Amino acid sequence: MNTIRHDWTKEEIIALYNKPLMDLLYEAATAHRQFHDPNVVQVSTLLSIKTGGCPEDCGYCPQAARYHTDIEGNDLMTVSQVKAQALRAKSSGSSRVCMGAAWRNVKDGPEFDQVLEMVRTINKLDMEVCCTLGMITENQAQRLAEAGLYAYNHNLDTSEEYYKEVISTRGYEDRLQTIDNVRKTNVTVCSGGIIGMGESVEDRAGMLVALASLSPQPESVPINALVAVDGTPLEDEKPVEIWDMIRMVATTRIVMPLTQVRLSAGRTQMSREGQAMCFFAGANSIFAGDKLLTTPNPDVNEDMKMFEMLGLIPQKPFAKKSQPKTVEAEESEFKAMGEKPKWTRPGHSIERNLKASGKI
């Protein structure tokens, strides 16, 4: 029986990742079946509630204001717009709505109050609600929890060492701090990363060490394959090989057997056969909808056809944890504190990011 280990070493994870593929798949599928029904896959819909104009310099992201991409920025959506989208997602089989806002961190004020109202509204539709809003304080995490938030997404992206090659406007410790703030509430943690950014297998393993050492481990771990967007610093990166994706999913499944491993960005580049191997290797969650924030994603109908062909069943909402209660704004125990936390700004320079932003 697999036990949950928090002391994985980088060397052990690299050895797993590099195993003969059939051995790796067998081990991952065995771990998967110990903790999950292998024919059930959770389906989430990702909604960009505020697009573009972000002050950060994440090298993979077309929403960073400093890069010259084709993204059209949008102000924060209204609660009724979000409710309409959530109803559409529910009717097409999604159990979770994940709302993303292109912010560095959450600021107390009318916009955050509006997001809290979106959380209340979607939770009342009996769907799981997830947010990805950048860095948050403990008080903000408490307010989201009270509104009925089910999960908070905050990706580690890559290893601590390679993080410095991708982002200069914040540090790895800020990511860990936000995850820690979320952990002080009953909101579940969603945190994963991106492969194909020029990192090594050691970096992929380093990220898994960091995630697996969290106690408890994240309830959900998205594995993204970079979608290289023109105008971003990573525009010239080669597409991720399907074998890398399968190995990454399988290794994640073995080191974090309880988590939901999510196939995220980059699915349009994967064949159905490739995706089926990822499901066999332990992936049990996908994003549905034709867009992932701003990058393309397979059509919902195509996904449902694939589910039918593979005999997969969408997971019901709150299958892993009960539905949180929603506390109305006027009954809230937590008030805005207007904190100005000192998130770091390492300030090192990344040549390719400077080039993409036209600074050199």
User: Catalytic residues, which ones?
Assistant: 54, 58, 61, 98, 130, 190, 262
Could you say which of 25, 46, 61, 283 contacts ligand SF4 (CB under 6 A)?
61
Number of shown-chain residues binding ligand SF4 (CB under 6 A): 8
d(CA 177, CA 168): 17
Four-residue CA torsion sign, 57, 62, 64, 65: positive
Between residues 10 and 154, which has the closer beta carbon with respect to ligand SF4?
154
Query: Is 61 annotated for ligand binding?
Result: yes
- Nearer to ligand SF4 by Cβ, of 5 and 104: the residue is 104
Do the beta carbons of residue 86 and residue 96 sit within 8 Å? no
CA–CA dist 352, 314 (Å, integer): 41
| DSSP label at residue 135 | B
- What is residue 268's DSSP assignment? G
Stretch that binds ligand SF4, among 15-23, 35-43, 53-61, 253-261 (CB under 6 A): 53-61
Piece in contact with ligand SF4 (CB under 6 A), picked from 18-26, 54-62, 202-210, 264-272: 54-62
Nearer to ligand SF4, 10 or 175 (CB): 175
Count of positions (residues) in the chain: 360
Binding to ligand SF4 by residue 46, rule CB under 6 A? no
Q: Is 131 one of the annotated binding-site residues? A: no
Does residue number 64 form part of the binding site for ligand SF4 (CB under 6 A)?
yes
253 is in an annotated binding site: no
x-or-dash pattern for ligand SF4, window 123-142, by CB under 6 A? -----------x--------
Identity of the residue, 134 or 206, whose beta carbon is nearer to ligand SF4 in the bound complex: 134
AA identity, residue 24: L
Long-range CB contacts for residues 269-274, cutoff 8 Å, separation at least 24 = 269/225, 269/227, 269/239, 269/240, 270/225, 270/242, 270/245, 271/242, 272/306, 272/309, 274/242, 274/245, 274/246
Is residue 59 near ligand SF4 by the rule CB under 6 A?
Answer: no
* Smallest distance from ligand SF4 to CB 45, Å: 18
Q: Contact between 58 and ligand SF4 (CB under 6 A)?
A: yes
Closest CA to 77 of 114, 113, 108: 114
Shortest CB 286 distance to ligand SF4, Å: 20
- For the bound state, the minimum distance from the C-beta of residue 340 to ligand SF4, rounded and expressed in Å, comes to 18
Question: Interface residues for ligand SF4 in 92-121 (CB under 6 A)?
Answer: 102
Compute and round to an integer the Cα radius of gyration of the chain.
19
3-state secondary structure of 46: strand
Of the ranges 51-59, 236-244, 296-304, 343-351, which one interacts with ligand SF4 (CB under 6 A)? 51-59
Instruction: Enter the tokens of residue 148.
Output: 């009925």
Nearest-angstrom CA–CA distance, 142 and 203: 32
Consult the annotation and say whether 278 binds a ligand: no
Q: Which is nearer to ligand SF4, 64 or 277 (CB)?
A: 64
Burial class of residue 330 in the structure, from the number of CB atoms within 10 Å of its CB (0-12 exposed, 13-18 middle, 19+ buried):
exposed
54 is in an annotated binding site: yes
Report the candidate in 44, 97, 98 with the shortest Cα–Cα distance to residue 263.
44
Which of residues 8, 10, 46, 56 is near ligand SF4 by CB under 6 A?
56
Q: Pick the stretch among 60-68, 158-166, 265-273, 330-338 that binds ligand SF4 (CB under 6 A).
A: 60-68
Q: Is 280 helix (H, G, I), strand (E, B) or coil?
A: helix
Classify 146 as helix, strand or coil: helix
In this structure, are residues 170 and 346 in contact, taking their beta carbons and an 8 Å threshold? yes
Q: Which stretch binds ligand SF4 (CB under 6 A): 59-67, 113-121, 241-249, 310-318?
A: 59-67
| Among 63, 140, 191, 326, contact with ligand SF4 (rule: CB under 6 A) | 63
Binding site for [2Fe-2S] cluster: which residues? Answer: 98, 130, 190, 262
* Residues near ligand SF4 (CB under 6 A): 54, 56, 58, 61, 63-64, 102, 134
Binding site: which residues? Answer: 54, 58, 61, 98, 130, 190, 262
